[in-house]
Structure 1
Amino acid sequence: MTDHELATKLKELAETPAPPARIDLDRARRLGERRRRVRTTVLVVGCAALVTAGGLTAVSAFRTTPPAAPAAVLPKPPSVAPSVAPAPTDNPLVTKASFGWLPEPIKGVEYGAGEHGDYALAIGRGDLAPMIWLAVYDQEPALDRRHDMGGRAVRVPVRVGDRDGYWITTDARDPLNRGNSYLRWPTGDGRWAELNAYYLALPDLQQVLLRVAGEVTFANRAVPLPLHISGLPEAFRVADIALWRRPDQDGVPWRAVLQYSSNGALATITVSPPGGRADGLGKPVCTTKNGLRACVAIDKPQATGITSQELLSRITPIGPDESKWTPHVIG
């Protein structure tokens, strides 16, 4: 998080009566991929009996047919949760779930991966932009996983699509929890999904959020990004990757920020339309190409074994047309 973003969030906290946190730090725990391995064995034993009888008359001989045996009833195999497809390896930004329908106040979807968690965020506009966070957990989380409900968290059962889910609130008479709403439900592959919505004021908000949840799809999907990188040093490890859509704060429609750690150093790649600021530590080196501005900042080049200019030379901005962005970013 940059100093500018930290200052903005502290200002919001000071001026707004008890708003929900803008970033869920609990999502900092990396959600490890789990593959469900289920072995199903179905043993079917069938038997057949053939009974014949013979009879002879003066004009013909024929075989009598015994009554048909009851049809064998085969045991139904137990239902098996579909396995989760492996995440792509040539893109550092992979989402585990995707929104379908979203209400009108939402203007775009952000994605993040790394130390601040793996998430999709449907977001609107303004200083207190409406937000709907979407996260996927390998196991059902604790009811008050953020420990901010004072031990008073309760479930309010609700049907989410074809599954039994629940609201989480401090008052069972108010499933929306005074505007800081939590909706949780099991996915089809054995995991759990959660929506956390706030700054969202709409008629029939419960039905709105239930519709949003009901149209979420679950699959590992590489998020298309506006750059291609020919290669990264072997020691680079993902720190935080984000595709942000905060025009009111950033002055540009979107920014893609890729941060990598390497031997205690931090390398930050920022791609945005011209006018967007560069993130990261260290003095940024920038270039403008194909209608986009790309910048690289490395705080300790001697630790990474590569300079900002050398890393920048490996980056090709694709352009502002999002339909042409690539899910294959590296290599």
Structure 2
Amino acid sequence: MRSHEQRDLTARLSALAEAPAPPAALDTSAVIARGRGRLRRRRQALIGVVAGSTAAVLAGVLLLRPSGGPPVPAGPAPTAPSSLAPSPTATPAPAAHTGPLSAEARFGWLPEWLARPAVGYAVSDDRSVVTATTRTAVQNAVPSLKLELLRDPGESLAPGQHTATAPAVAGREARWLVTDASGAPVGLRWMTASGRWAQLNATVWSGAKVQDDLLRVAAGVEFGNRDVPFPVRPTGVPADLKLRNAEIHRPSRNSEPPWSAILSYTVDGKWLSVTIQPDGFGVFADGRPGGGTPVCRVEKGVQLCANGTAAGIPSVQRIGGLAGLLAQFDVLGADEASWAASGPADKPR
């Protein structure tokens, strides 16, 4: 997903965590209004996880993008079907994280109807979310999967939903998420090997095959806290800035950049966001009210932009304001192959 999606994700995350969104055009006000609506919809679609638990990390996004941006490279091919395997026991977390984003799970097997999936990771307020979206429409919809770890099995259901017994996943208890009106399943919850519960939601449901596929996806999920490859490394961010949200997304459409990322910080009720994407796709910045004009830096083909209501706090001013803050990030490059991390590097699909 792109930067917008990131915010979207953030928003989703924020939807996740509960927030509003925004983006761009030639008419600044029209651009911002249009962007916010898009971000809000994406956030809710892609994440909508922590809704109601915290304030949105990314309420708006200001996208001032040039027309006719470069095409996005085609995504990887889908993984060939494999035999159903149980969810592996959670692996221990690495001794130390080398990047700003770590994920507690990653997809293993994915169904053929999720062709050429773009995988994204996000953590907001300690809620870990993984998404996989295809650019190929199925039944007039864009298929996607959202995987998240729950805090408890009875965590709040969406309005109009209840649970029903589902076949065991790797020998452990599982429950369908069912809509009250139609009685049709829209998701799956199951207990993982660590004793925590996971939830999987799909946007496309076409009878028993999709249900079987969801059970197979769940059984193939790999758990374990591992670093997610990321385009930058924070080196000297002021200690009072607390990382609230971190995301990275691949595109869900050909008009998006090949990837986009965001880091959102909070301090004393104020916020500050750093957005990251390949250079040449316009300015991608958090568009929440009061965020001010973004300050940007380009290095190794990567554009970083920062803005937020915490731009004027003493610790940020001591390092040179937003420009000084951006200097506190090591840029690894626009090519994902340059992003060293212990995992989970997505398997070829």
TM-score, structure 2 length as denominator? 0.65
Q: Distance in 2 between the 1:116 and 1:159 partners?
A: 27
Per the alignment, residue 332 of structure 2 pairs with 318
Q: What does 1:269-280 align with in structure 2 at a 5 Å threshold?
A: 269-274=274-279, 275-280=281-286
- Verify: 1:3 aligned to 2:50, yes or no: no
Per the alignment, residue 146 of structure 1 pairs with 157
Residue type matched to 1:94 in 2? S
Residue type matched to 1:228 in 2? R
Residue type matched to 1:98 in 2? R
Determine if contact 2:91/2:224 at 8 Å carries over to the other structure: no
Task: Mark the CA change 1:249 to 1:83 in structure 2 (over 3 Å): closer, same or farther.
Answer: closer
- Verify: 1:287 aligned to 2:297, yes or no: yes
Per the alignment, residue 341 of structure 2 pairs with 327
Partner deviation per Cα, 1:254-285 (whole Å, 9 max, x = no partner): 11100111233322111111215322222222
1:317 deviates by 2.0
Q: Distance in 2 between the 1:110 and 1:317 partners?
A: 20
Determine if contact 1:27/1:118 at 8 Å carries over to the other structure: no
Gaps of 5+ in 1: 14-19, 31-80
Per the alignment, residue 68 of structure 1 pairs with none
Residue type matched to 2:47 in 1? I
Match of 2:170 among 161, 164, 167: 161
Determine if contact 1:154/1:171 at 8 Å carries over to the other structure: no
Per the alignment, residue 34 of structure 1 pairs with none
Q: Distance in 2 between the 1:168 and 1:256 partners?
A: 30
Q: Distance in 1 between the 2:208 and 2:335 partners?
A: 35
Residue type matched to 1:316 in 2? D
Determine if contact 1:28/1:115 at 8 Å carries over to the other structure: no
Q: Distance in 1 between the 2:323 and 2:39 partners?
A: 32
- Verify: 1:95 aligned to 2:132, yes or no: no
Match of 1:24 among 48, 68, 84: 48
Determine if contact 1:28/1:117 at 8 Å carries over to the other structure: no
Determine if contact 2:245/2:264 at 8 Å carries over to the other structure: yes
Determine if contact 1:114/1:239 at 8 Å carries over to the other structure: yes
Gaps of 5+ in 2: 1-10, 12-20, 24-34, 55-88, 343-349
Q: Distance in 2 between the 1:198 and 1:130 partners?
A: 6
Per the alignment, residue 259 of structure 2 pairs with 254
Task: Mark the CA change 1:185 to 1:304 in structure 2 (over 3 Å): closer, same or farther.
Answer: farther
Determine if contact 1:29/1:116 at 8 Å carries over to the other structure: no
1:201 deviates by 5.5
Name the larger-Rg structure. 1
Determine if contact 1:237/1:260 at 8 Å carries over to the other structure: yes
Determine if contact 1:84/1:189 at 8 Å carries over to the other structure: no
1:292 deviates by 1.6
- Bigger shift: residues 204-213 or 194-203: 194-203
Q: What does 1:1-331 align with in structure 2 at a 5 Å threshold?
A: 1=11, 2-4=21-23, 5-8=35-38, 21-26=45-50, 29=53, 85=93, 88-104=96-112, 105-106=114-115, 107-115=117-125, 117-125=127-135, 129-142=142-155, 145-149=156-160, 153-170=162-179, 176-177=184-185, 181-199=186-204, 204-248=209-253, 251-274=256-279, 275-280=281-286, 281-303=291-313, 305-306=315-316, 307-327=321-341
Task: Mark the CA change 1:288 to 1:9 in structure 2 (over 3 Å): closer, same or farther.
Answer: closer
Secondary structure (helix, strand or coil) at the match of 1:26 reads: coil
Task: Mark the CA change 1:312 to 1:213 in structure 2 (over 3 Å): closer, same or farther.
Answer: same
Determine if contact 2:120/2:248 at 8 Å carries over to the other structure: yes
Secondary structure (helix, strand or coil) at the match of 2:313 reads: helix
Q: Distance in 2 between the 1:202 and 1:276 partners?
A: 42
Secondary structure (helix, strand or coil) at the match of 1:301 reads: coil
Please report the RMSD computed on the Cα atoms of aligned residues, expressed in angstroms.
3.3
Q: Aligned residues: percent identity?
A: 28
Determine if contact 1:166/1:183 at 8 Å carries over to the other structure: yes
Task: Mark the CA change 1:87 to 1:206 in structure 2 (over 3 Å): closer, same or farther.
Answer: farther
Task: Mark the CA change 1:240 to 1:87 in structure 2 (over 3 Å): closer, same or farther.
Answer: farther
Q: Distance in 1 between the 2:330 and 2:127 partners?
A: 27
Q: Distance in 2 between the 1:270 and 1:148 partners?
A: 33
Determine if contact 1:25/1:116 at 8 Å carries over to the other structure: no
Q: Distance in 2 between the 1:121 and 1:313 partners?
A: 30
